[in-house]
Amino acid sequence: MRSKFVAGNWKMNGSLAANEALLSALAAAPGIPRGGVAVLAPFPYLGQCADLLRGSTVSWGAQDVSVHESGAYTGEVSGSMLLEFGCRFVVVGHSERRAMHGETSELVARKAVAAVKAGLTPIVCVGETLQERESGRTQSVIGEQLDAVLSTAGMEVVGKSILAYEPVWAIGTGKTATPAQAQEVHSFIRRRVAGKDAGCAEGVLILYGGSVKGSNAGALFSEPDVDGGLVGGASLVAADFLEICKAAFVPSA
């Protein structure tokens, strides 16, 4: 049986004071299994995460990684640099990176390769826009995004990754895919991976990301192919984030 995993993506948010309050609350919270929760912070705050979370059951990671190991790539951050700050995870292919920075699925696949090579676990994001969903293209869009990773990165990399379905139309909008909608896409993703490697498909974690809240997390996480959440805004408030974590790790009565 697959374990659950919850990752909090801070996006471009945070301050030293706010982070300290949040991280201290997470580090002191009971009931979080080791390796079951991670925060994904902006680069400048990774050192603070390392200081305040070291020794706790909560892990930390970054929001992007370069395909390059070193060199004349101003503004880029390599996987080995992230590893030095104790990062275990890194997001690649977030919809905001795809839309605002023109990242292609092939580049996302190369970033996943770079992350695994550095010893990190990439959280590889796929998802469709509202227009794509309404035109009935959800599976074709996600299939194309996923196939680039499966073919370019290969199954060895996919087996060391976490996948995340983030419907673009549900990110920061307050709209959430219903549990049935999420399960339908997660099942499709797992079947797509199974077409290459059934064992890998059975073991790979697939997270849901898109306005996850304490009020809907339990229903989402109860679906058989939803293995946890990639949480945005709710991960910035300790009480809200811990309520989501509780939905993942505390059996309902």
Residues sharing a CB contact under 8 Å with residue 116, sequence separation 6 or more, in sequence order: 122, 153, 156, 157, 160, 161
Question: Which DSSP letter does residue 3 get?
Answer: P
How would you write the pLDDT of the chain (253 residues) with one tens digit per residue? 799 999 999 999 999 999 999 999 999 999 999 999 999 999 999 999 999 999 999 999 999 999 999 999 999 999 999 999 999 999 999 999 999 999 999 999 999 999 999 999 999 999 999 999 999 999 999 999 999 999 999 999 999 999 999 999 888 777 888 999 999 999 999 999 999 999 999 999 999 999 999 999 999 999 999 999 999 999 999 999 999 999 999 865 4
Q: How far apart are CA 129 and CA 49, in angstroms?
A: 32
Instruction: Determine what percent of the chain falls in helix, strand and coil, rounding each to the nearest 5.
Output: 50, 15, 35
Token pair, residue 252, equals 């309902």
Main-chain phi, psi angles of 60, to 5 degrees: -145, 160
Active site residues: 94, 166
Residue among 50, 57, 80, 84 nearest 68 (CA): 80
* Helix ranges restricted to H, 204-237: 214-221
Provide the whole-model pTM: 0.96
Question: In Å, how far are 6, 102, 174 from 37, measured between CA atoms?
Answer: 5, 29, 23
* Cα angle 81, 114, 170; round to 5: 95
